[in-house]
Amino acid sequence: MLYLLRFAVNDLRNIIRDRFFLFAFFAYPILLIVFSRILVHIIEPKIGGIFQLASEFSLVLMFFVVIIPFIFSFITAFLILDERDEHLLTVLRVMPISRTSFLAFRMFFMLFFSFIVLLIFPPLSGLVNMTEFSYLSYIPVALLFALFTPVASLFVTSFATNKVQAFAIFKIGGSVFLIPIFAFLLNLGNLKWIFSPVPTYWSLLTLDNVLKNGSVDVIYLAIGFVYHLILIAVLFHIFNKKY
């Protein structure tokens, strides 16, 4: 436990020392809230017919709750890449804590902060009417979205050999993981299931049910959790085999 506490303190120090990490960790979530408040609720009513965002607040919310875990996965991935370049992962093989435990802690550490931001975002963003929004139903959905943090970070660190490749994968992955939003933007009928291989689809599907019906679809939620955990296990195995 003492080792885990030291690793947590060390992670925070690394984030604070790097201006980009510091911005992404603390400022970016705040900017998302400010953006949703100012752009959607002040600017949009004044430009009425140009951008019809008012009727699509649910889609705006979906976009942001995908971006939030993606931000924390970015930080996680680049921290791991730094440690890999410094051969810290090799040193962990002879330390009292196993490398698997260390990486699992790193994933949980960032997942936790991602979950906290996801919890506070809806009421602070103003994108939902909290008197009608089923917040208790949203909590397990927020946890499902937070699980995307280790999925994305492990995906990048498993296949990127350097930071340039990591940036490229994040750019491509960012587009791919946001694509399922079109399943809810367009009336695709059964064609929406073509997005099901993308993990964020199941998170968005459960969120859509909460927004429309005020309840969680347990089946979709369970599929989402199982799918994310399988991806984490597979990517964890690939990463450990490769490094």
Separation of alpha carbons 184 and 148, rounded Å: 19
Kindly state the average pLDDT of the residues 105-114. Answer: 86
pLDDT in tens, 182-223: 888 777 777 888 999 999 999 999 999 999 888 999 999 999
- Residue 162 is predicted with a pLDDT of 81
| Helical spans, DSSP H, in the chain | 2-17, 19-22, 28-35, 44-46, 57-85, 88-91, 99-125, 135-146, 148-159, 163-178, 182-185, 199-213, 218-242
- Residue 49 is predicted with a pLDDT of 46
pTM: 0.86
Q: Where are the domains of the chain?
A: 2-242
- Residue 23 is predicted with a pLDDT of 75
- Residue 46 is predicted with a pLDDT of 53
* Contacts made by residues 176-183, CB under 8 angstroms, sequence distance 24+: 177/66, 177/70, 177/148, 177/152, 178/63, 178/66, 180/204, 181/59, 181/62, 181/63, 181/66
Q: Can you tell me which residue has the tokens 């993990």?
A: 199
